[in-house]
C-alpha cells in the first residue's frame, strides 16, 4: 500500500506577485509594452526561475485570469512573454478590457539540489488551468481545458449566491479556503 506524503514532504511551490505588466496604447486598445526590462528588474531573481505563470487582469478588487502557462524547460524570462504568447493569448485577451491593469503571478518550482521536476510543473499548470477556467470561461488556454459535467453548489464551480454556512464549513473542512 502506498503511503501518503505529509504536507512537509510535498514539494512546495511558492507564489510571487502580482507584478504589474507594463502596457502601451495600440490602435485597437492596449498591448504589452515592447520594453519589459523594468518589469524583469522588478521581479528580481524570479526571472531566472521555473514553474507556472498566470497572466491576469486586475480590475476593481478582483483578478480575472486570462492565460496560464509553464516555464519548465527554460526560465520565466524566456517563456512568459514569448512572441507566440503575446500574439496568440495576451493581445487578443487585452482587447476585451478597456480598464484594469495587467498582472503576472509566478508559481515557482521549489529550489534545491537536483533537476527541475518538469512533471510536477505540468501537474501544477493543469490544476491552475482547471481552476482559472472555472473563474473565467474565456480563459485563452485551449489545451488541458477539462469539461466538467458536475459541480458542488457554493463549493466547486458554483455560481454566485450559492454560498451558505454549510458550503463555507465544507470548504474549510476539505481545505478549499
For every one of its 177 residues, what pLDDT tens digit does the chain have, with 9 covering 90 and above? 556 655 557 788 999 999 999 998 877 778 999 999 999 999 999 999 999 999 999 988 789 999 999 999 999 999 999 999 999 999 899 988 888 899 999 999 988 777 889 999 999 999 999 989 888 889 999 887 777 777 788 877 766 677 788 888 888 888 876
The H or E element that residue 94 is part of is helix 91-94
pTM: 0.84
Report the SS3 class of residue 111. coil
53: phi then psi, degrees, rounded to nearest 5: -130, 150
Three-state secondary structure of 10-73: CCCCEEEEEEECCEEEECCEEEECCCCHHHHHHHHHHHHCCEEEEEEEEECCEEEEEEEEEECC
Q: Given the DSSP bridges, would you call strands 14-20 and 101-108 parallel, antiparallel or unpaired?
A: antiparallel
Amino acid at each position: 500500500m502506498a503511503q501518503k506524503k505529509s504536507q512537509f514532504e510535498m514539494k512546495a511551490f511558492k507564489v510571487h506577485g502580482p507584478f504589474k505588466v507594463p502596457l502601451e496604447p495600440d490602435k485597437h486598445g492596449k498591448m504589452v509594452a515592447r520594453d519589459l526590462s523594468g518589469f524583469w528588474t522588478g521581479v528580481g531573481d524570479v526571472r531566472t526561475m521555473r514553474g507556472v505563470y498566470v497572466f491576469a487582469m486586475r480590475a476593481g478588487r478582483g483578478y480575472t485570469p486570462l492565460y496560464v502557462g509553464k516555464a519548465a524547460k527554460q526560465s520565466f524570462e524566456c517563456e512568459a512573454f514569448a512572441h507566440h504568447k503575446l500574439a496568440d493569448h495576451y493581445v487578443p485577451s487585452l482587447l476585451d478590457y478597456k480598464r484594469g491593469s495587467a498582472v503576472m503571478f509566478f508559481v515557482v518550482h521549489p529550489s534545491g539540489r537536483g533537476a527541475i521536476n518538469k512533471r510536477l510543473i505540468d501537474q501544477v499548470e493543469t490544476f491552475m488551468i482547471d481552476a482559472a477556467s472555472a473563474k473565467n470561461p474565456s480563459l485563452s488556454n485551449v489545451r488541458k481545458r477539462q469539461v466538467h459535467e458536475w459541480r458542488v453548489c457554493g463549493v466547486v464551480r458554483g455560481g454566485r449566491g450559492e454560498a451558505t454556512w454549510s458550503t463555507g464549513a465544507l470548504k474549510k473542512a476539505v481545505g478549499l479556503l
